[in-house]
Chain A
Amino acid sequence: MWYTKNTVIVFKGVSKKYPPNVYALKDATLHIKPGEFVSIVGQSGVGKTTMAKLITAEQSPTKGKIIIGGWDISRIKNRAKPILRRQIGVIYQDFKLLPRKTVYENIAFALQVSGFPRSKIVKIVPQVVKIVGLEEKEERFPKQLSGGEKQRVAIARALAHRPKVLVADEPTGNLDTVNTNEIVDLLLKINGFGTTVVLVTHNREVVNGLKKRVVTLEEGEVVSDQAHGKYMI
């Protein structure tokens, strides 16, 4: 078995049932090592987003165990969720930026919630803004940005507290090819820093171009898991 103790994300026989009776995941088992870049693929409605939401504790498993960085979050308390989320970066298809905060404030917010002092915030924010290449646009509001730029702000925000894991649920779903490639390149760059990246995607070209590990879901089950996989369906 390729599984080692050295894992950052573990799904152990995880099932997720939505009321009234939809099984979005069925007995899914998955181990992800630190520094890996894993693509989760599959048709619509097979449970990819559910998997991402289980990692961030937006949903809790009906059965099974989920362990993030050695922490069993299967029955995580509401009070502990913020602590988990400050260690995971998440980006979404719809960006989820705070509409009434500027680029700078959106990124700073992720640090403010965990009580970072101002002195650190004014150092970190320009650093991550530079990584995503938005130096000139710090004072803009989200509605003054293109889709690609918004997603880069979301990535910068996700990076701000140096998470061990970055979960990206269809981050390129709303973007054209040029922007998609830029975002994927950014994810690779972040992975290059040592961050584990979990990428949920539909995009065949992206997956095939990556030549990284691919986990394929079908009706809530993990049907294939290949180290240098291709988009199969």
Chain B
Amino acid sequence: MLISFIRIIKFAFQNFWRNIWLSIATLSIIVLTLISISSLIFVTVLTNEAINSVKQLVDLNVSFKPEVTLEEVQEIEVSLRELEQVSTTVFISKTEALKEFEAFHKDEELIQESLKELDENPLGHALVVKAKNLEDYPFVLTFFQEEGREDKIQEFNKNFEKHEVILEKMALVTKRVRELALAISIVFVLIAVLIVFNTIRIAIYTHSEEISIMKLVGASNAFVRGPFIFESFWYAFIATAITLALLYPLVNVVNPYINQFFSSNFDLVTYYTQNIVWIGLYEFVGMLLLNLVATSVALGKYLDV
């Protein structure tokens, strides 16, 4: 058993080296496929990031009346956080609000003057609420409009409402973009699967004569299959390693352009280095399964001797 196993691995490597050009061709196709799949992953991540960064611009800024106390606001914040539609809340105290206000209007003398004349802070506390989805803002708004809350509120800065039309369009566009990306991905993966499948089939077809000879001198199916199965494993492994190595410089080259495009601090290189293990693992396992299926299917008809 063990001796067969060792022989199978030896034959697999012999096969690989003695058909080095065919091996390289097969390997290149697999690597190219994996690079394309990886690019698809990156594009998906970037699309999501673009959608998110737009979402980040949208929030609901609730300013409370100056007489509303810190405790009252904090109480509201706590119940607000219990809503599943709410993603984050940020508390802004009176003092902070004033500072921001001053900073924002620092070039406007008139406002600066009038601020100085007031002894007391005219502003109240504020809460900045981000909902999970764009569609959730109206609901969050009704929360503030409930009895006992509405009269504590000075004003809403409903930038989601200002952008309502744009946002509606955005929501639609992002939905379409996602659907399109999914459709493209499916087509793309299908093409990749077909290409790899056929590449493996051709590689095995070139061995069809040998396979029948092996069977005629008394090799069992398992013994003939063994080296090919091991080669599948080896191809998937090497191809994944090469792909990951090639992607690193590629990602570094495109990264500056992506950074320019995203004002947010999304960084593709960071994303890549943080997720390299998962990307590698998924691609390896996916490619291995594909190779194994292709190999078994392709071998099937030649083994029947």
Contact = CB atoms under 8 A, between A and B. Distances in A.
Interface in B115-167: none
Query: Quick one: which of A85, A99, A101, A113 has the most chain B CB within 10 A?
Result: A113
B296 to A, nearest CB: 16
Interface in A68-94: 78-79, 81-83, 85-86, 90
A98 interface: yes
Most chain A beta-carbon neighbours within 10 Å: one of B3, B19, B217: B217
Contacts of B213: 96-98
A82 B7 contact: no
B220 A82 contact: yes
Contact of A85 (B18, B216, B221): B216
A202 to B, nearest CB: 22
B15 A113 contact: no
B217 A110 contact: yes
A23 interface: no
- Max count, chain B CB within 10 A of own CB: residue among A81, A83, A118: A81
A82 B220 CA distance: 6
Interface residues of B, number: 21
Contacts of A85: 215-218
Interface string A117-135: 1100000000000000000
A100 B220 contact: no
Interface string B1-35: 00110010000001100110000000000000000
Interface residues of A, number: 26
A19 interface: no
A96 B305 CA distance: 14
A85 B213 CA distance: 11
B217 A113 contact: yes
Given A58-B305, A100-B15, A109 B216 contact: no
A69 to B, nearest CB: 15
A158 B218 CA distance: 11
B210 A82 contact: no
A113 B210 contact: no
Interface string B191-216: 00000000000000000011001111
A98 B304 CA distance: 18
Contacts of B217: 85, 90, 109-110, 113, 157
Contacts of B220: 79, 82, 113
Interface of B: 3-4, 7, 14-15, 18-19, 209-210, 213-221, 223, 304-305
Shortest 8 CB-CB contacts between residues of A and residues of B: A85-B218, A86-B218, A113-B219, A100-B18, A110-B217, A82-B220, A82-B218, A96-B213
Given A90-B216, A109-B219, 15 more contacts: A56-B216, A78-B304, A82-B215, A82-B220, A85-B216, A85-B217, A86-B218, A96-B216, A98-B210, A99-B210, A100-B19, A113-B217, A114-B218, A115-B4, A118-B3
17 contacts: A58-B305, A78-B221, A79-B220, A85-B215, A86-B218, A90-B217, A96-B213, A96-B216, A98-B213, A100-B14, A100-B18, A109-B217, A109-B219, A113-B218, A113-B220, A115-B4, A117-B3
